[in-house]
């Protein structure tokens, strides 16, 4: 049996504080369809995932640092949430640079919950329609994005969802968008 994502290489960008279910469920959805995932983080070693932002969960081994990766090597990107995760990622210049290169190339991106904070910091939501956890919506609007309150939103390869409750729809949609491949390159970045 072949999967919709056979041969696709997908970056998952996360660090300490990532919401575990927002890392594992999308990862499992794309690997079931044949994709190979790599965990990209600002630093080497392991990251500490969380449940509900406050309860330590599992740790995950980092495959590559953001400084080591080339956006052209990936077919798609998953950007999970977690308040602390997103806040730390948005402050890393290598993460922002990687995301700008990905979006500029039209590479599909799946982002959930607090994940859009990193896109806001990288100036990648201007002119885009997306959703997020409610506390980020003012930031997205202030950065030039349009916010809607829907389970899953797709805008030219950018797939976004609000929270872990939306994971079934989010996972199904990223598989389809990632299978479709590169979208129109964005002038946003």
Closest CA to 158 of 136, 134, 135, 126: 126
Residue 50 has pLDDT above 70, yes or no: yes
Given pLDDT bands bounded at 50, 70 and 90, which one contains residue 187? low
* b/e code 53-89 from CB counts within 10 Å (16+ = b): eeeebeebebeebbeebebeebbbbbbbbbbbbbebb
Phi, psi of 166 (to 5 degrees): -90, 0
Does the pLDDT value for residue 184 go beyond 90?
A: no
CATH class of 9-180: alpha beta
Is residue 90 predicted with pLDDT exceeding 90?
yes
Give the model confidence (pLDDT) of 127-171 as tens digits: 999 999 999 999 999 999 999 999 999 999 999 999 999 999 999
pTM over 0.85: yes
Tokens of 187: 């002038």
Q: Is 85 within 8 Å of 17 (Cβ atoms)?
A: yes
Active site members: 113-114
DSSP string, 127-168: T-EE---GGGHHHHHHTT-EE---SEEEETTEEEESSGGGHH
> Taking 70 as the threshold, does the pLDDT of residue 1 lie above it?
no
Instruction: Identify the pLDDT of residue 2.
Output: 76
**What are the residue ranges spanned by the domains of the chain?**
9-180
**Quick check: 41 pLDDT over 90?**
yes
């Amino acid at each position: 049996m072949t999967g919709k994502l056979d041969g696709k290489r997908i970056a998952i960008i996360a660090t300490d504080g990532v919401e575990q279910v927002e890392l594992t469920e999308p990862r499992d959805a794309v690997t079931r369809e044949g994709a190979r995932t790599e965990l990209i983080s600002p630093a080497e070693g392991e990251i500490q995932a969380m449940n509900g932002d406050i309860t330590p969960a599992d740790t995950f081994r980092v495959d590559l640092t953001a400084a080591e990766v080339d956006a052209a090597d990936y077919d798609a990107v998953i950007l999970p949430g977690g308040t602390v995760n997103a806040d730390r990622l948005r402050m890393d210049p290598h993460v922002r640079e990687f995301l700008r290169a990905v979006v500029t190339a039209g590479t599909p991106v799946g982002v959930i919950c607090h994940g859009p904070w990193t896109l806001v910091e990288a100036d990648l939501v201007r002119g885009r329609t997306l959703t997020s956890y409610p506390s980020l919506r003012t930031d997205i609007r202030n950065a030039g994005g349009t916010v809607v309150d829907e389970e899953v939103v797709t805008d030219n390869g950018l797939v976004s969802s609000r929270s872990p409750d939306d994971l079934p729809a989010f996972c199904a949609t990223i598989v389809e968008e990632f299978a479709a491949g590169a979208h129109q390159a964005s002038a946003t970045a």
